Every structure is written in structure tokens, then in C-alpha cells.
Amino acid sequence: MQQVSTTRKWLWSRTGVDQLPLAPPPDKAIRIQADFTAEQKRLADTWNEQGGLLEALSSMAGIEGAAAVAVLAVESQGRGFAPDGRMVIRFENHVFWSQWGKHQSDRFRESFRFDEKQRWRGHRFRNGDWVEVHSDQAREWMVFEFARTLDEEAAIRSTSLGAPQILGLNHGRIGYPTARQMFAKFQSDIRYQVLGLFDFLRPSMIAALRERRYQDFAARYNGPGRAAKYGEAIERQAEIFRSLQPDCTTMSLDAGTR
């Protein structure tokens, strides 16, 4: 089981953090215009829902608020929950293989597939016929709920959770003793998802965001396989957001407290 550091003070457990406003003050909200593109509207919606907390945490980390908004936009379009109230998730077949399937290979292969060479590709699930796992949130949840019947902790560890899309396998990295506890907190409130993003960041990631080295950040956050794609996407979203909210350029503060 992944070990949780007993020396680090996790943001989600700090006294007073739960009192930080989630939304920005009215004078910092983005007024959505009729001619906004879909990207602009998604960024504005993310900021108008979560910008108060994002700005406070970005200030603590010494990064631009634009960078935090851009990461969330790329990971989940800035959404922590689907319209039905369930958390946004992505079930990772290849991780479930590592966490459970390799010990139950015949049973795994009855229901799950993935590309052996590019393991993040070719995720299929058999529910009668073989279907694509990542078609929509209803399908993600169908596959996830099935996997939970086989091994709940392994299923959660194999699922990217919430707005920051942090893999349940990384529960200890953000201060949760089990993946179940991380899942419960993330499902309870978007606030814990945002705090999870900042608890996940390490000094090298913060430095990359501060210096606008987005590809380097993406390699550390998502892995090197698709770093160029993710890095370019984060850069684009940050640029668009700055045009909407040019004052959100915090770069200071007490990053040394992290």
C-alpha cells in the first residue's frame, strides 16, 4: 500500500482552508459574452465556479492562476462533476490490469482489453459486445461500477478522479491513506478536488508552471508519452484565460510554506 507522509501538512487537512471562498468575488468574475467560443466559456465557467479557491492556492504556490485553470481545463474541461451529480472519472483498463487483472488474467480478459504497446489506448469493455470505454461518462461509470464488483480498492486505484484527474493509485501522494477515502472526499465536494490538485504538485511541477515550461510540467503530471500534446494544450488554455482575466497573474508569495 502506498505510504502517506506524516511530515507534510496536506492542504485538504489544514485548518481554515475549508473557509476559503470557492468562487471569486464579483469584481473578479468573468462576464460571459454572447460571442465567446466554447473554450472561452468553459474557462470562464471554471473560474466563476472555483476561481476564489484557485487564486488563493495559486498565490500560496507562487504560480499564475491562469496556469491552474488551464490544467483543469485540459484534464476535465474544468468540470468536477457530470450533470447527473456523479464525479467526472476515467477508468484506466491498463492500470486495472496491474492492480488486479494480472492476478486474475482469464477473468480480466473476459471483460477488458487494452493495447499492449500503447497501454493508454484501445480500452475496451465487453457488455455483450465489445465497446469503447471512453465514449462518455455514463460508459466510464458503467465500467467502473463493474470493476468495483471485482475489487473495489483496485478499481478506484485504477480510475482518474475529478477535475484534476488524479489517479486513485496516487492517493498517498495527496495525503489519503486509501483510495476509497480519496474517492469519498472528491465525490463530496469540488473543493477537495481542487485541493487535491495543489497537494499533487511537487516543486519541479510548480517551477515548470511558474516558468511556463508547460511540456515539462505535462511530462511530470501525465507522464512523458503525451507530454507535447498536453503541454501545448495547457499553454493554449492559459493564453486564452489570460485574455479573459488578465489580472489573474499571481507569481509571488509564500511558496516556501508548501
| Judgement on whether residues 113 and 72 belong to the same structural domain of the protein | no
Q: Does any domain span residue 3?
A: no
| Whole-Å CA distances, 108 to 19, 98, 150 | 44, 11, 10
| Judgement on whether residues 77 and 97 belong to the same structural domain of the protein | no
Low-confidence ranges of the chain (pLDDT < 50): 6, 251-258
Residue 164's contacts (CB-CB under 8 Å, 6 or more residues apart) are 71, 72, 75, 76, 193, 194, 196, 197, 200
Q: What is the pLDDT of residues 75-113, one digit of tens each?
A: 999 999 999 999 999 999 999 999 999 999 999 999 999
| Judgement on whether residues 99 and 155 belong to the same structural domain of the protein | yes
Alpha-carbon distance of 164 to 200, in angstroms, equals 9
Q: Does any domain span residue 169?
A: no
Helix axes 65-76, 227-244, angle to 10 degrees: 130
Alpha-carbon distance of 28 to 48, in angstroms, equals 8
* pLDDT in the model for residue 254: 42
- Would strands 124-127 and 112-113 be described as parallel, antiparallel, or unpaired? antiparallel
Where are any strands of DSSP class E within the chain? 89-91, 112-113, 124-127, 129-132, 159-161, 166-167
| Judgement on whether residues 121 and 244 belong to the same structural domain of the protein | no
Q: Does any domain span residue 168?
A: no
| Judgement on whether residues 19 and 77 belong to the same structural domain of the protein | yes
Dihedral pair phi/psi, residue 151, rounded to 5° = -165, 105
Q: Does any domain span residue 175?
A: no
Three cell numbers written together for 79? 468540470
| Judgement on whether residues 195 and 76 belong to the same structural domain of the protein | yes
Alpha-carbon distance of 17 to 245, in angstroms, equals 24
| Judgement on whether residues 75 and 199 belong to the same structural domain of the protein | yes
Q: Does any domain span residue 4?
A: no
Q: Does any domain span residue 186?
A: no
| Judgement on whether residues 74 and 200 belong to the same structural domain of the protein | yes
Alpha-carbon distance of 215 to 204, in angstroms, equals 12
Contact in structure between 40 and 244 (CB atoms under 8 Å): yes
Q: Does any domain span residue 181?
A: no
Residue 105's contacts (CB-CB under 8 Å, 6 or more residues apart) are none
| Judgement on whether residues 20 and 59 belong to the same structural domain of the protein | yes
Say how many domains are in the chain: 2
* pLDDT in the model for residue 16: 86
**Owning domain of residue 17:** 11-83+191-257
Contact in structure between 164 and 72 (CB atoms under 8 Å): yes
* pLDDT in the model for residue 253: 37
SS3 at position 204: helix
